[in-house]
C-alpha cells in the first residue's frame, strides 16, 4: 500500500511493538551476512522468506481463513526469527534497526517489548539479551535520534511460572538501573497456551514493584480468563479483540474495561492476518473509538505483517471515514496512554504542537 505523505509526517506513538516481530527484510539479510562473515551456522529461514513475500503481496489476507491455524503460522514465524536472533550482537542489530525504522516513519515515542532469552550455544544470557537491547536504545539516543524509546520485558504465557517470576525480578533490577528505560511488563504469547489466570499473582507482584502492565487480553474468546485479566486491572490492554458479547465476549467485560477506561492497543493488520477479525471494516477499533474510549493504533509486528504505523493510521482513516483532524487527535490522545511521567508527556504535547504548525504551514 502506498502511504500518503500526511500519515508519514504525522507524529505518532507506538506502544505495541515486539522487537523480533518488527524485524525488517533488511535486518534479516544483515544478520545472514554477519553469520556468513563469522562462520556461524545459517538457519533455514526459507519458510520465513516465503511468508514475508506472501504478506507483502497481500496474499495473507485469505490465508486459510481459519483463526487457529493462522495464529499458529504466525508463531511459527517467530520461532524461525529466534533461530536467526540467537546472540547478543544480533539482538543489538535488530533493536537498533527497528528503532531507526520507526523513527523514519514519524514515530516520536516508542515502547518496545521482548522476552529475555538464554541461548547457551552462543553464550547469550537473559541479562546480556536485555543489555543488548538497552545498548541499542542508548546508541540511537547518542546518535541524536528524536525518538524516545522505552522497554517492557515480556512474560511469555507459554513458559512456566518460575520463568515469569525471574522476568519480574530482572525488570525490577533494570527499572532501577536503566535510567528510566525499563518501565514495565508485557504479558503475551500464544493465547492457546496455558491459563493466563495462573500468572496473575506474578503480575500483581510486578505492579507492587512499580512496573506498568501491558497485557494481551481477549486475543481469542475466553470470557472467564479475560475477565480475570481486565479486573487486575492492566495499565493497557493489547488487542482486546473478543471483549464484546457479539464476538464471544460479555457485557461484563465491556462494562469493566469501559468503567476503568483501560487504554486498548489496536493492531488492525495483525488481527486481519491472524484472522481474529475477518475484514478491516468490522474491526473492533470502531466499537471502542465511537464510544470515546482511549484507543492507540499500533503495529504489533511490523516485520511479520509487512506494515508500518503510518500505514495502520491510513487503514483506520480510510476504513472508518475519519478525517485528518480526527487522526491527529487520535495520535495526540495516545500521549496520555504512554508509560512515562508527566514531564515526558508534557514535552511530547509541546512537540506535537510544533509538528502541527509545520503540517499546517506546508
Phi, psi values for residue 105, rounded to 5°: -90, 5
Contact yes or no for 223/197 (Cβ under 8 A): no
Contact yes or no for 115/154 (Cβ under 8 A): yes
Contact yes or no for 156/189 (Cβ under 8 A): yes
Give the tens place of pLDDT for each residue, 319-330: 999 999 999 999
Count of domains in the chain? 1
Instruction: Please compute the mean of the pLDDT values over residues 31-59 and round it to a whole number.
Output: 82
The sign one gets for the Cα dihedral 12, 13, 16, 18 is positive
Contacts of 312 (CB under 8 A, 6+ apart): 267, 268, 269, 297, 298, 299
Q: What does the mean pLDDT of the chain come to?
A: 93
∠ CA 14-19-23, nearest 5°, is: 105
Torsion from C-alpha of 285, 286, 288, 289, nearest 10 degrees: 100
How sure is the predictor about 63, in pLDDT bands with cuts at 50, 70 and 90?
Answer: very low
pLDDT of residue 66: 47
3-state secondary structure of 215: strand
pLDDT at 300 over 60: yes
Instruction: Please compute the mean of the pLDDT values over residues 210-230 and round it to a whole number.
Output: 97
pLDDT at 289 over 80: yes
Strand order in the sheet with 236-239: 12-18, 107-114, 148-156, 182-188, 212-217, 236-239, 264-266, 295-297
Q: Is 292 left (phi over 0), alpha (psi -120 to 50) or beta?
A: left
3-state secondary structure of 127: helix
Question: Which is more confidently placed, 17 or 361?
Answer: 17
Phi, psi values for residue 222, rounded to 5°: -170, 80
What is the residue whose three cell numbers read 556461524?
A: 40
Among 60-64, 173-177, 320-324, where is mean pLDDT lowest?
A: 60-64
Q: Please state whether beta strands 148-156 and 107-114 pair in parallel, antiparallel, or not at all (unpaired).
A: parallel
pLDDT of residue 65: 47
Instruction: Please compute the mean of the pLDDT values over residues 183-212 and round it to a whole number.
Output: 97
40 DSSP 8-state letter: P
Instruction: Please identify which of the residues 14, 101, 111, 219 carries the catalytic annotation.
Output: 219
Measured distance CA(204)–CA(22) in Å, rounded: 28
Instruction: Please compute the mean of the pLDDT values over residues 188-199 and round it to a whole number.
Output: 96
pLDDT of residue 187: 98
- Percent pLDDT > 70 in the chain is 95
Instruction: Please compute the mean of the pLDDT values over residues 109-115 and round it to a whole number.
Output: 98
Instruction: Please compute the mean of the pLDDT values over residues 316-343 and round it to a whole number.
Output: 97
C-alpha cell at 245: 458479547
How sure is the predictor about 57, in pLDDT bands with cuts at 50, 70 and 90?
Answer: confident
Question: Which is more confidently placed, 46 or 168?
Answer: 168
How sure is the predictor about 46, in pLDDT bands with cuts at 50, 70 and 90?
Answer: confident
pLDDT at 172 over 60: yes
Whether 219 is catalytic is yes
- Percent pLDDT > 90 in the chain is 81
Give the tens place of pLDDT for each residue, 237-274: 999 999 999 999 999 999 999 999 999 999 999 999 88
Measured distance CA(311)–CA(60) in Å, rounded: 16
Q: What is the CATH number of the domain that holds 22?
A: 3.20.20.140
Measured distance CA(272)–CA(330) in Å, rounded: 21
Instruction: Please compute the mean of the pLDDT values over residues 73-78 and round it to a whole number.
Output: 79
What pTM, to 2 d.p., does this model score? 0.94
**Full residue range of the structural domain in which residue 289 is found:** 5-361
Amino acid at each position: 500500500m502506498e502511504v500518503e505523505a500526511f500519515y508519514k509526517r504525522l507524529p505518532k506513538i507506538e506502544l505495541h511493538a515486539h522487537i523480533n516481530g518488527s524485524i525488517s527484510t533488511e535486518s534479516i539479510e544483515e544478520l545472514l551476512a554477519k553469520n556468513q562473515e563469522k562462520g556461524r551456522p545459517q538457519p533455514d529461514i526459507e519458510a520465513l522468506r516465503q511468508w514475508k513475500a506472501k504478506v507483502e503481496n497481500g496474499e495473507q489476507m485469505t490465508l486459510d481463513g481459519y483463526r487457529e491455524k493462522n495464529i499458529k503460522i504466525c508463531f511459527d514465524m517467530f520461532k524461525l526469527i529466534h533461530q536467526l536472533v540467537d546472540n547478543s550482537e544480533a539482538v543489538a542489530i535488530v533493536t537498533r534497526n527497528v528503532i531507526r525504522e520507526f523513527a523514519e516513519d514519524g514515530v516520536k515515542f516508542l515502547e518496545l517489548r521482548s522476552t529475555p532469552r538464554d541461548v547457551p550455544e552462543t553464550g547469550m544470557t537473559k541479562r546480556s539479551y536485555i543489555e543488548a537491547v538497552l545498548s541499542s536504545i542508548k546508541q540511537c539516543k547518542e546518535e541524536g535520534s528524536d525518538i524516545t524509546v522505552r522497554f517492557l520485558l515480556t512474560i511469555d504465557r507459554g513458559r512456566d511460572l518460575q520463568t515469569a517470576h525471574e522476568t519480574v525480578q530482572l525488570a525490577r533490577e533494570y527499572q532501577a538501573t536503566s535510567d528510566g528505560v525499563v518501565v514495565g511488563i508485557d504479558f503475551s504469547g500464544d493465547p492457546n497456551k496455558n491459563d493466563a489466570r495462573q500468572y496473575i499473582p506474578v503480575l500483581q507482584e510486578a505492579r507492587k514493584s512499580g512496573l506498568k502492565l501491558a497485557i494481551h487480553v481477549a486475543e481469542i474468546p475466553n470470557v472467564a480468563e479475560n475477565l480475570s485479566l481486565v479486573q487486575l486491572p492492566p495499565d493497557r490492554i493489547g488487542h482486546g479483540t473478543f471483549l464484546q458479547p457479539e464476538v464471544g465476549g460479555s457485557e461484563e467485560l465491556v462494562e469493566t474495561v469501559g468503567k476503568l477506561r483501560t487504554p486498548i492497543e489496536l493492531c488492525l493488520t495483525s488481527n486481519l492476518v491472524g484472522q481474529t477479525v475477518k475484514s478491516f471494516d468490522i474491526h473492533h477499533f470502531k466499537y471502542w473509538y465511537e464510544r470515546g474510549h482511549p484507543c492507540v493504533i499500533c503495529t504489533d509486528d511490523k516485520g511479520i505483517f509487512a506494515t508500518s504505523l503510518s500505514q495502520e493510521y491510513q487503514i483506520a482513516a480510510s476504513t472508518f471515514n475519519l478525517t485528518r483532524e480526527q487522526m491527529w487527535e487520535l495520535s495526540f490522545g495516545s500521549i496520555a496512554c504512554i508509560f512515562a511521567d508527566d514531564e515526558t508527556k508534557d514535552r511530547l504535547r509541546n512537540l506535537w504542537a510544533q509538528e502541527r504548525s509545520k503540517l499546517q504551514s506546508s
